[in-house]
Amino acid sequence: MLNVQDLDVFYGEFQAIDNVALKIEKGQTVIVVGPNGAGKSTLLRTIAGLLPPRRGTISFEGQRIDRMEAYHVVENGISLVPEGGRVFPHLSVLDNLKVGSYNKAARAKAQQWMKRIFELFPVLSNRKTQRAGSLSGGERQMLAIARSLMSQPRLIMLDEPSLGLAPLVVDMVFEFVLTMKQEGYTVLLVEQNANKALKVADYAYLIESGKLVFEGRSEDFDKNPYIKTAYLGI
């Protein structure tokens, strides 16, 4: 479904991504782990069309998207939930969700899709008219995910969805990642909590200093002595 090849991304003269390659099959949950500043968020932002690659290609369902504007990437079926559960704080929960269905393809089925969102997120249904900025951190994260789903994506990318959340809420976030998988979504998840992320992943990549240093299934990560010590606390 998604094929990233030989990707180089720069901020000015600083190289944030160095020759990274990544593949995702339809229906997979793929995770990218690594330390702060490794380039994980940059990778997602580049796939989403927010940053231009200097070299390499990104293809989605056989179509090149690495030179597309971000709104065209969304229309083609990819959504990004940015780090930190970012919502429009002065808008209501309902209006935040409407923003998610702004693209032409999603707008026609917005009402129908809204009902499905409230089935998946009952807590948001109870807070339709509440200002998004008054929600708890966990609720804002759920709203950010729900708003992203309103664009009716086939691939949803989550950037550090557990960041700054209480342990109980973190468990809820990862349970919902499993729900999205069961619903048929393809998921690309960037996460520092490697232990939690590996439990939901079909395949995983480790990025350090902008470079891909290891990839494999969760059992492969469990067997790697360096990863066990540095990321899994074993």
The tens digit of pLDDT for each residue in 34-61 reads: 888 899 999 999 999 999 999 999 999 9
- As a whole number, mean pLDDT of residues 90-109 equals 87
pLDDT at 107: 80
Q: Where in the chain is the domain with CATH 3.40.50.300?
A: 1-77+155-234
- Specify the CATH class of 1-77+155-234 in words: alpha beta
230, 216, 22, 50: CA torsion to nearest 10 = -40
Q: Does the pLDDT of residue 23 top 90, yes or no?
A: yes
Q: Does the pLDDT of residue 141 top 70, yes or no?
A: yes
The tens digit of pLDDT for each residue in 53-84 reads: 999 999 999 999 999 999 999 999 999 998 87
Task: Please tell me the total number of residues recorded for the chain in this structure.
Answer: 234
Yes or no: say if 68 and 93 are a contact pair by the CB < 8 Å rule: no
Beta strand extents in 42-87 (DSSP E only)? 55-60, 63-64, 78-81
| Average pLDDT of the chain to the nearest whole number | 90
CB atoms within 10 A of CB 8: 16
Yes or no: say if 87 and 147 are a contact pair by the CB < 8 Å rule: yes
Alpha-carbon 174 to chain mean position:
12
The tens digit of pLDDT for each residue in 177-231 reads: 888 888 888 999 998 888 888 888 999 999 999 999 999 998 898 888 888 888 8
State pTM to two decimals: 0.91
pLDDT at 130: 94
The tens digit of pLDDT for each residue in 101-130 reads: 888 778 878 888 888 888 888 889 889 999
Q: How large a percentage of the chain has pLDDT more than 90? A: 57
pLDDT at 232: 80
CB atoms within 10 A of CB 44: 24
Q: How far apart are CA 190 and CA 20, in angstroms?
A: 15
DSSP assigned state of 83: T
Q: Does the pLDDT of residue 154 top 80, yes or no?
A: yes
Q: Does the pLDDT of residue 234 top 70, yes or no?
A: no
